[in-house]
Chain A
Amino acid sequence: MDRRVYGVETEFGLTHRPETGRGLPPDELARYLFRPVVDFGRSSNIFIPNGSRLYLDVGSHPEYATAECDDLIDLIASDRAGERVMHDLAMAAQERIHQDGFTGAVYVLKNNVDSAGNSYGSHENYLIPRTTHFRRLSGILLPFLVTRQIIAGAGRVVQEDDTYEAHFAFSQRADHMWEGISSATTRSRPIINTRDEPHADAASHRRLHVIVGDSNMSTTTSLLRYGSTDLVLRMIEAGVPIEDFELENPIAAIRAISHDISGQARVRTRTGEQVTAINIQREILRRVTRFVSERGAHHSHVDQILELWDRTLQAVETGEHQLIDQEIDWAIKKRLVEEVSHQRRLDLNHPRLQQIDMAYHDVHPDRGLYHLLVRRGRAATIVSGAQVTHAMTTPPPTRAALRGEFLSTARAYGAECTVDWVHHKLTDRPLEAIMVKDPFAAKDQRVEALLDKLGDRSSELQERSLEERSRQGATLALTDKYTRAPGTQVPEPPLI
C-alpha cells in the first residue's frame, strides 16, 4: 500500500511521590488524573476532539491512542500530543491532590517497565490489505521485529541479577515478550497480535497489531521505527522475495539480542544458520534500498529513514555509538548514563542510574531528561512544539477528521452522541447512526447531512481561537472547538 493508515497506543506509567511516606495507590491516583477527562466526556474512556482516544486501561494505566494517521509526521506529532495531554492532566491532578491536603509530585513516565518487573506497552497499528498472506507476512516480519530493537530500542539500564551483571540493554520490552504470534495480549504478550479488529472494511483490510515496540521519546527514532516497518510491509505487499530469516526461537532471540549491546549476539534460524541482529537488519535494509530505488520513494521521508537506518547499523557494527547519540533513543540514553556513571563514579548497579533511565521518559517538559537533552542540543527532533500543539486540537486528514468534527459539532449543539473508530451516532437519532468503514475518508456526505440536522452550522457555530481554548480546561485537548454564535437557539430534539 502506498498510502497506509497508522496508529500508536501508548500506556503510561504513573506515580505519586509525596514529601514523606507512601504515595496514593494507583487506582486513586488514576482517578485524580482522569477527573478532567470524566468532566469533559462523562467517562474515563472517551474519544476527544482531535480524533484520538483517551482511557484508563487494565491496571489503571492511562492510555492514549492516536487518531488514524496517513502520514508519519502526523503520527509522531499525535503521539507527542498524547504526552502533552498526560503532562497537563498530571499537573491538574497534582494541584487537586494538594487542595485535598496531600503533598508531593505526580509523575507520568512514557516507559515500559517499573522496578517490580511489570511491563506496559506501546502498540503499533498498520492497516494492511486483506490479500496479504499472513503466514508469509509473519515469516518476514517476525525476524525484522525481533531485531528492530537495535535501531529503535529505548535502551535500559539492567541491574545485576542471577543471570547478568549490570549492563545497558537495547530494549525495555524485550524481556517481557512471551510469544511470537498470538491473539492474546495481557496473558502471553506476543510480538504480533492477531486479534483481527480492522476498524475498517474487513473484506479488504486487516489491522496488523504489533506490541513488541518500546515507547520512544525521540521523534527521529520514532520516524525510523514506523518508517522502516512500513517499508518492510510495503515490500511484503508487493510480493518481493526476502531471504528467509525465520528464527528457531524468536523469544530467546529477542532477549539475547537486547542484552548484548555489541550487536554480536548470535541467534539460530530454522535452517540452523547462526546470525546476528546486524546480519538480519543489513539484509533487510539492502532489499528495502533496492526496492525503493526500483519503485521510487512513496513519501518525502524515505531518504531520511534509509540514511538513519544505515547509519544506526553502522554505529552498532563499529561500536561508534556517537554516530547516532542524538537521534536514537538507546544511544542518547546510553551516553547520558555513561557520563553520569563516569563523572559521579557510580557503578551501573547504583539506583541513581536506574532513576536516570526512568527520568529520561518523564513527560514533564522541565523535569524529563529527554526534554532536558533536547534543550541542550543533545537530542535532535523533527516535530516542532507548534506541530504538537496543533495535533492536540486538530485531527489528521483521515476518518479522524470526521470523528473530530462530529464530536465538536454535537457538543456545541448540546446533542448527546457516541462515537468509536467506525461509528457516529446522535443519541436522539439512533436510527441514523453512520458507519464509516474507510479509514482514509476525511469527508463523508452522510455525516455532513446528519450534522446539518442539528442546525445551520455555518451561521450558528463560531470556531474558537487557540488562545481562547488554551485559557480553558485542564488541557487544550479537552476543550471545545466551537461556541454557539450569540442569539442562536438550541433546537428541539426530534420526536422518535
Chain B
Amino acid sequence: MPAQPQKQPHRHGEGDQPDSADAAAQVQGNPQATERAAELDSLLDEIDTVLEANAEEFVKGFVQKGGQ
C-alpha cells in the first residue's frame, strides 16, 4: 500500500466519459442520437434553473459545524 497517496494524473475525459458533443456532431440525422442530445440539453437546462446561479458562493457558504 502506498504510504501516502501520490498526486497522480486521473485521466478524466478519456475512455469512460461519454463524448456526447462530438457524438452528436458525427451522427447528425440519427434521430435517436438527436433525441438523446435534446434530452440531455433539457436536463442541463432544468438543472440550471434549480441551482443557485453563483456556484462558488453556494459552495463556500455551505459550512457546517463538525458532527460525529
Contact = CB atoms under 8 A, between A and B. Distances in A.
A123 to B, nearest CB: 7
Given A23-B61, A109-B62, A343 B51 contact: no
B43 interface: yes
A351 B59 contact: yes
A342 B65 contact: no
Q: Which residue, of B6, B7, B67, has the highest number of chain A Cβ atoms within 10 A?
A: B67
Interface string B45-66: 0110011100110111111111
Given A17-B58, A58-B67, A261 B10 contact: yes
Interface string A305-327: 00000000000000101000000
A338 B18 contact: yes
Interface residues of B, number: 42
A356 B21 CA distance: 20
B25 interface: no
Nearest to B6: A163
Contacts of B17: 338, 342
Given A26-B64, A340-B44, A267 B1 contact: yes
Nearest to B56: A351
A464 interface: no
A332 to B, nearest CB: 13
Q: How large is the interface on A (under 10, 10 to 19, 20 to 34, 35 or more residues)?
A: 35 or more
A84 B11 CA distance: 38
A166 B11 CA distance: 10
A341 B14 CA distance: 13
A338 B12 contact: yes
Interface string B1-39: 111111111101101111111000000000000000001
Given A118-B67, A186-B67, A319-B16, A366 B50 contact: yes
Contact of B68 (A120, A166, A343): A120
The dominant DSSP class at the B interface is loop
Nearest to A354: B59
Contact of B55 (A319, A351, A372): A351
B55 to A, nearest CB: 4
B59 A120 contact: no
Contacts of B3: 252
B50 A372 contact: yes
B65 A59 contact: yes
A11 B39 CA distance: 34
Contacts of A295: none
A94 B3 CA distance: 47
B5 A164 contact: yes
Nearest to A255: B5
B64 A367 contact: no
A256 B66 contact: no
A167 B9 CA distance: 9
7 tightest Cβ-Cβ pairs between the two chains A and B: A120-B67, A59-B65, A167-B10, A351-B56, A355-B55, A352-B55, A351-B55
Given A164-B10, A168-B10, 9 more contacts: A15-B62, A58-B67, A58-B68, A59-B65, A59-B67, A120-B67, A163-B5, A354-B59, A359-B50
24 contacts: A11-B68, A17-B61, A58-B67, A59-B65, A114-B63, A114-B64, A118-B64, A119-B66, A164-B8, A167-B12, A168-B10, A185-B68, A268-B1, A274-B1, A338-B17, A340-B44, A342-B20, A344-B44, A351-B58, A352-B55, A354-B59, A358-B62, A359-B51, A366-B50
